[in-house]
Structure 1
Amino acid sequence: MTIMVDDTRVVTLESGTLTLKIQNDASIDELCGFAARANPKRGFLIVSKVLGRHLPAAPAAMRGSMDQLGAMLPADIPQPVAFLGMAETATALGQGVFAAYRRNNPDVSALYLQTSRQRVDGSTIIATFEEGHSHATSHLVQIADEQLIALARSARTLVIIDDECSTGHTFIGGAEAMMAALPNLERIETCCLTDWSGQAYCTAMPLPTTGHAILRGAMNWEKNPDQVPPQLASTSNGVGTAPATGMGSRSGLLDPECAYRAPVEPKAGERILVLGDGEHSYEALLIAEEIEAKGGIAAVQCITRTPALLGHAMETVSHFDDAYGSGAPCHLYNILGHQPDRIIITAEIAGEQIRQAKAAVAALGKDIPIEMVLCAYHSAEEK
């Protein structure tokens, strides 16, 4: 049950009661839904409507939120600037914010990094940290190119991008880990879609910090004492292996990337759901934008490690194996939410995604064409 009184939203979940007080004029209904996590560490989930992960998101809404956050970052922050997108949920958002900032400030020296749960062969791990409340706690930051390592170490500003901030502890942990790797840092900027911390975490950051968010507010969580705590799979924090032709964002970029792949040809008015796979999610947005430019109607979602309970924003759940070999259980929520005529899986590594997606659709009584667009970012020899 969800109740809205003035600027306060009360959400009653199986796992407890979430009370949210909105502090600016952003629309919570345009940005957020809610669900219960299947996670004993944290019982609630803010389910973004513009992230393209758990709910189908229109590409224009995704790009609009990326551009909005990118525009909040000052042009005169000390250079070089290192951007850090947080795996797995904010990897598309991170690249999109980086793309917006690069477009607005083309002369600023900047690079993009992301945390990852996939190991990149031949890269150097420059930082690791733990996200205590997560189902998958371990974050790796790795760079493959020595020149990019040198640029990163000279960075004076760090921009950390995540989808949501409840307490700010993840920002603090990420910043402290990156401080050791980037010794010339002078300041930190954070970006997220929704920030419920009141930005109290900023005073605990290791350097002067400014936080940016589309929706700001305060949060109170009361756990349901009668709920039997759900248990996480023992493999939830498993580390996988990135393919040799995989994303450059896991090991450092100077510009936003796009894949070498086949084009997508929609019929006029065809409704197409584009699925990213875990951290591989920015290309799903690019494909969705391509579809809409050619007359289709696209939405973006992702296969994800996030464990959630059915109810509220989570109407259906389908289960997938992790194509990266980590053994972590993966899920897809609301697969029919876009009412798709066709589903395209955007993958950098081919596993059982098509078979499992077909089984998911069939279990819901539908027969929808499903195909894969296999993406490469460089040849294996370049590695």
Structure 2
Amino acid sequence: MATHTPWPGHWVADRLGIALTGDGLHGVLGLALRRNPKRAHLLVSNLLGKHVPQDPRAVHGAAYALGERVRELLGPDGTRDAVVLGYAETATGLGHSVADGIGGVPYLHSTRREVAGVTAGGGFQEEHSHATGHLLLPEDPALLSGSGPLVLVDDEFSTGQTILNTIRDLHGRHPRERYVVVALTDMRSAADRARLADFAAALGARVDVVALVAGAVTLPDGVLERGQALVAEHETPPPAPAAHYDVTHVDLEWPAGVPDGGRHGFLPEHAAALEAALPAMGARLAAALPPGARRVLVLGNEELMYAPLRLAGALQRHTDGVDVRFSTTTRSPVLAVDDPGYAIRSRIVFPAHDEPSDGPGDRYAYNVAGAGFDAVICVIDSVGETGPLYEPGGLLAQLAAHTGTLLLAVVPSYRPRPRLRDRLRSRLTTGTGSRPRQNGHTAPMSATSRPLPAPLRGPAFSSYAADEVGWLLKDLSEVELEAPTEEREEAIQSGGAHYAESLPVEYQPSPEYQELFRSALDGSAERIARAVGAVTELVLAERGPDAVLVSLARAGTPVGVLMRRWAKHTHGLDLPHYAVSIVRGRGIDRNALGWLAAEHGAANAVFVDGWTGKGAITRELADAVKDFDGEGVFDPDIAVLADPGGCVSTYGTRDDFLIPSACLNSTVSGLVSRTVLRADLTGPDEYHGAKFYRELAGSDVSGLFLDTVGAAFDRVGDGVAEDVKSLRSQDRSPTWAGWAAVERISEEYGIGDVNLVKPGVGETTRVLLRRVPWKILAQRGVGADLDHVRLLAQQRGVPVEEVDGLPYSCVGLIHPRFTRGATGTDGKAVDAK
């Protein structure tokens, strides 16, 4: 005997007297109660894929059919210049699927997530929503400035006010003759319909409406207050998360260059690439399912609806007999009542895990708990893969309590290419406009200004192969720049010169020290390779295959070369790699930034360094790029092998360990000097300078370092996978613990200048090679990682003091009272008192 399934709106309708009238409405909509002071009820669509897990074919198919109706309405030629705009958050996937049905049209959706470096092309308010503000952030402003039809897609029309707000904003910027409004349900009153008609007439534009079903909702007097009372009466605590859980990461191999959705625009060529890649991605998801799984949920994340919807459909085609369902999380708070006559039977609650710009607070997933899913595949974009996702009360722990198998698939978040490119290219090649000076200030460009030169490459400049790195530097090899260490230190500390105006004499290691370097390299190659792999995988996951490595010359350059080799070895990617100069107190080479922005797009640049100390360069870079050309288009985060200072969020490890490239100077860095910035040597239209020490070729171990570490790549693959999984599950936000430690040490030792405290094994080595050290603080018990430090200290007569409580392996202290007369014959600074 067939059982009757009650309409999932009876519970609310019976208690509040709300009535839905219209053919087919009860088959599409249920009712629930909002926790919202503006509106009591929620129309819950079972075709939207938001609150109710649904067959992905039904979700995509309903929207696709609406798109076909729009295509028919516009006629054979009417869609040629059309653009589809969907509404965040609920209609992002709906609008995208409508665009599929129209065929061959670009798609954009509004967003509530601010994106650094992207200027809004419009905005509007959705008054009744829990989160009212909408931004329009197209990568190409032409998407909103054309004259063709604009198709606006939302899940429901209640009053039509949001549509009026949108058209008013966009029409005021870029008028057009025709708009088409699309929804699953049209619940407007006769007065609302008349208001839209009057609005269109006053605008002088045609506005058509296409809906799957239409009807009306009747709300009795006092419904808001009585609804709020019902919410208070029936509110129950959400279920507890799993105490322990396992999550399996599924590598989708998302197609390169395809956006994760329509936040910045999704073009027909993107659609073609995605369609071609979907079968293989569906097969990867199917292969990850546990044997015998019969009911599977693919769960999207807030605005990320379309990608998981299409992945659910692709999975469905590879799983005969498996009931595949699709829904997404939401920021909308709704009462859950476990009653078959109520549309929201259960809810789980978890903290927001996207970037802070997307808004703090709780997020929700409905009708997942108690639904009997054998497996849940959580699909998020890489911006959302943060510490809170993995924490004990986070989304994954909540999901794990309601399924036997939890899988996670991460879609790389799309980063728009800035629209600066054409303007910068023109400015750099025509000699018009303005040019940033080396110190970061802007001055008029003269008519005689020349285009910036191409990067220097080996073997003409550096011992690296030409394809390993391009140096955005000026060759100063024939200029005498070296000065004795004591003389340089006196000039720097007295304020008479900047450290970047001269070079120290290149340290030539003793045979004993060279042997120590080789031993350290052999002993640490796998550890370095593992850190290289981890940081490169994080960069590729977060920045995508269009990443351009920009190493900070020169310590970062060997790391950039190794990261490029890992990407080539592991993924077959040829990542461009350039080296640029940054100078503490003077900023980054802005001419080099201009060249990078013009050639590759600033948003693709990933800055690379070897390690962090106290974070001075990290702060210098952030200040230098935030106002580049008046727009914040460069991401200042630095990718490093080791982040003992807690200064960055992209790193291979936060351990302070020996990176052998820190043991030497130019002979492990392609025979290139540290960079030089001096007004009489580098003009306003030139890069910062550096020297190529060709004469040191006999001592060069740059290739040995790279090849030794690269040879370990295959051996560390499993370890890299473990490290990346662990790093993704951590909160990697900068802690600046190193800076706090440096301030404490500066005060404790009476130095009074944090620039004279050089924390970490890398910075300490630099002090011993290039400055006049006072003493070395070594963490008690650190062994072989400091062998070379102890040897250098012994050779220079510098005491090594073992201490407890350092966050680093060691710290180098430069003498705070240095004068030329206050040094011994070995160059060691002594107290001048």
The aligned counterpart of 1:168 is 160
Q: Residues of 2 paired with 1:268 and 1:95: CA distance?
A: 33
CA deviation after TM superposition for structure 1 residue 47, in Å: 0.5
Residues 279-294 of structure 1 correspond to what in structure 2 (within 5 A)?
A: 279-294=303-318
Select the residue among 174, 187, 191 that pairs with 2:178: 187
- Which structure 2 residues correspond to residues 266-281 of structure 1 after superposition, within 5 A? 266=289, 270-281=294-305
Deviations 1:235-257 (A, max 9, x none): xxxxxxxxx99635111222265
**Higher strand share goes to which structure?**
1
Match of 1:249 in 2: 262
The superposition leaves residues 145-172 of structure 1 with CA deviations (integer Å, 9 ceiling, x where unpaired) of xxx3234312321110000111111111
2:57 matches 1:56? no
Determine if the alignment matches structure 1 residue 327 to structure 2 residue 360. yes
Do the aligned residues in 2 keep the contact of 1:56 with 1:337 (CA within 8 Å)?
no
Change (3 A) 1:78 1:273: closer
Check conservation: 1:16, 1:43, Cα contact below 8 A: no
What is the deviation of 1:15?
A: 8.6
Q: Of residues 314, 339, 360 in structure 1, which corresponds to 2:398?
A: 360
Q: Using the alignment, how far apart are the partners of 2:51 and 2:89 within structure 1?
A: 12
| 1:350 equivalenced with 2:385 (yes/no) | yes
Measure, in 2, the Cα distance between the counterparts of 1:41 and 1:61: 31
Q: Which range moved further: 258-267 or 124-133?
A: 258-267
Alignment CA distance shift 1:353-1:220 (3 Å) = same
Task: State whether residues 357 and 370 of structure 1, in contact with CA within 8 Å, keep that contact through their aligned partners in structure 2.
Answer: no
> 2:110 aligns to what SS in structure 1?
strand
Aligned counterparts of 2:360 and 2:311: Cα–Cα separation in 1: 28
Q: Structure 1 residues 314 and 10, CA, compared in 2 at 3 Å: closer, same or farther?
A: closer
Change (3 A) 1:155 1:113: farther
TM-score, scaled to structure 2: 0.39
Letter in 2 for 1:251: H
Change (3 A) 1:155 1:43: same
Shift of 1:328: 3.4
Q: Residues 281, 15 of structure 1: CA spacing in aligned structure 2 closer, same or farther, 3 A cutoff?
A: farther
Cα deviation for residue 338 of structure 1 reads 4.7
Identify if the C-alpha distance between structure 1 residues 373 and 175 changes in structure 2 by more than 3 Å, giving closer, same or farther.
same
| 2:169 partner letter | A
SS in 2 for 1:279: coil
Provide TM-score, normalisation by structure 1.
0.82
The structural deviation recorded for 1:290 is 1.4
Aligned to 1:84: 85
What SS does the aligned partner of 2:262 have?
helix
Q: 1:137 to 1:91 in 2, by over 3 A?
A: same
* Seq. identity, %: 27
Cα deviation, residue 78, structure 1: 6.4
Distance 2:378 2:194 in 1: 40
Is the alpha carbon distance of 1:122 and 1:272 closer, same or farther for their aligned partners in structure 2, counting shifts above 3 Å? same
Alpha-carbon distance between aligned partners in 1 of 2:46 and 2:410, rounded to the nearest angstrom: 26
Moved more, 248-257 or 113-122: 248-257
What are the Cα deviations for residues 122-161 of structure 1, in whole angstroms up to 9, with x where unaligned? 32211111111111000000112xxx32343123211100
The answer to whether the 8 Å contact 2:350/2:364 transfers is yes
C-alpha spacing 1:75/1:268, structure 2 compared with 1 (3 Å): farther
1:299 is aligned to 2:352? no
Q: Deviations over 1:72-112 (max 9, x none)?
A: 1124336521211000000000110001111xxx4xxx321
**Aligned pair in 2 of structure 1 residues 136, 225: CA closer, same or farther (>3 Å)?**
closer
- Structure 2 CA distance for partners of 1:228 and 1:30, relative to 1, 3 Å: closer
Q: How does 1:1-383 map to 2 (within 5 A)?
A: 12=12, 16-22=16-22, 24=23, 27-73=24-70, 74-76=73-75, 77=78, 79-102=80-103, 106=104, 110-144=105-139, 148-183=140-175, 185-198=176-189, 199-203=193-197, 204-205=199-200, 206=203, 207-222=205-220, 223-226=223-226, 228=228, 247-255=260-268, 257=271, 258=274, 263-265=284-286, 266=289, 270-295=294-319, 296-311=322-337, 312-324=342-354, 325=356, 326-336=359-369, 338-348=371-381, 349-351=384-386, 352-353=388-389, 356-361=394-399, 366-376=402-412, 379=544, 381=547, 383=603
Letter aligned with residue 81 of structure 2: P
- In 2, the alpha carbon distance for the partners of 1:215 and 1:176 equals 26
CA distance in 2, matches of 1:91, 1:98: 11
Q: How far 1:42 sits from its partner (Å)?
A: 0.8
Match in the other structure for 1:239? none
Against the structure 1 CA distance between its residues 228 and 215, is the aligned structure 2 distance closer, same or farther, given a 3 Å change threshold? closer
Is the partner of 1:100 in helix, strand or coil? helix
Cα distance change, pair 78–316 in 1 and its aligned pair in 2 (3 A): closer
Change (3 A) 1:322 1:246: farther
Give distance in 2, aligned partners of 1:219 and 1:340: 34
Cα-to-partner distance string for 1:225-271 (whole Å, 9 max, x where unaligned): 4455779xxxxxxxxxxxx9963511122226548996312457632
SS at match of 1:250: coil
Taking the aligned partners of 2:379 and 2:110, their CA distance within structure 1 comes to: 20
**Residue pair 1:10, 1:17 contacting (<8 A) in 2 also:** no
- For residues 337 and 367 of structure 1, what CA distance do their matches in structure 2 show? 9
Larger radius of gyration: 2
Structure 1: distance between partners of 2:261 and 2:400: 35
- Provide the secondary structure at the position in 2 that maps to 1:124: coil
Higher relative contact order (CA 8 A, sep 6+): 1
The answer to whether the Cα contact below 8 Å between 1:126 and 1:141 also exists between their aligned partners in 2 is yes
Report the CA distance shift for 1:58/1:226 in structure 2 as closer, same or farther (over 3 A). closer
Q: Which has the higher helix share?
A: 2
Provide the rounded CA distance (Å) in 1 between the counterparts of 2:403 and 2:11.
Answer: 35
User: Over residues 322-344 of structure 1, what are the superposed CA-to-partner deviations in whole Å (9 max), with x where a residue is unaligned?
Assistant: 22222032111111465211001
Tell me if structure 2 keeps the 8 A contact 1:55–1:337.
no
1:376 maps to a residue whose letter is P
State the Cα RMSD in Å: 3.0
Q: Secondary structure at the match of 1:163?
A: strand
Q: C-alpha distance in 1, partners of 2:95/2:38?
A: 25
Q: Is the 8 A contact 2:351 2:361 kept in 1?
A: yes
Aligned residues: 351
Kindly tell me: are residues 341 and 157 of structure 1, through their superposed partners in 2, closer, same or farther at Cα, counting changes over 3 Å? same
2:39–2:224 Cα contact (<8 Å) kept:
no
Task: Please report how far the alpha carbon of residue 43 of structure 1 lies from its aligned counterpart in structure 2 after TM superposition.
Answer: 0.9
- How far is the alpha carbon of 1:213 from its aligned partner? 0.6
For the 8 Å contact 2:123–2:169, the answer to whether it is kept is yes
